[in-house]
Amino acid sequence: MGHDIELYESLALWVGLAVLFFFIGMAIQDVLKKGQVPLFGRVFVWIVLFAGCAGFIAKGVIQFFYETQGLG
Of 49, 60, 51, 45, nearest in space to 20 by CA: 49
pLDDT tens per residue across span 19-52 = 998 998 899 999 999 999 999 999 999 999 889 8
A 10 A CB-CB count for 25 gives 14
Q: Look at residue 72 and give its three-state secondary structure.
A: coil
Residue 72 pLDDT = 58
Task: Give pLDDT, residue 18.
Answer: 87
